[in-house]
Amino acid sequence: MTFTSQLDEMLIALRQTQARLLAPLDHQQLLLPTDPEVFVEDVLYYVMDEWKEDLRKEGHVLDEITSWNDPVSHYPRYELRIRGGAVVDLLFTGTYPKSLHLHLSKGMASKTQFSDAQAVQVPLLVSNDPNALLFSIIGGLKDFIKK
């Protein structure tokens, strides 16, 4: 399975997640929290948990790499095992609240390494709105797959 095919599999589940979560924006929650851990807990983990559920329905397994700890960015890292055996690493990076990126690459045997041999970086919107985060992930993956 090519890397682009793997990303396309991810996109299928993401579209299902977006369809389920599409809701009006709560304008009372427009301000980003000052603590990055609150953003990660309230928005990022919520989106990833919902995406994980839809990936599971498609036969894929998404797990957080809990041994990964980046005290500077506070963002998590995941491993996606695609039905059929391929592995994709997902690494969120950036400096909260200025930037957030999702790096996707072919999985490595060591969970302390990250490959850039076949990789894509998707810039994401830092927002309290889970729909905005989902939309930026989907848009970034669609742009890469079109190339």
**pLDDT over 70 (residue 26):** no
Q: Are 38 and 126 in contact (CB under 8 A)?
A: no
Q: How many structural domains is the chain composed of?
A: 1
Instruction: Give the domain range for residue 59.
Output: 3-23+33-146
Select from 5, 9, 3 the least CA-distant residue to 115.
3
65-100 confidence digits (pLDDT tens): 988 777 777 899 999 999 988 899 999 999 999 999
The reply to whether 28 falls in a domain is no
The reply to whether 137 falls in a domain is yes
Query: What's the predicted TM-score (pTM) here?
Result: 0.81
**pLDDT over 90 (residue 9):** no
**pLDDT over 80 (residue 112):** no
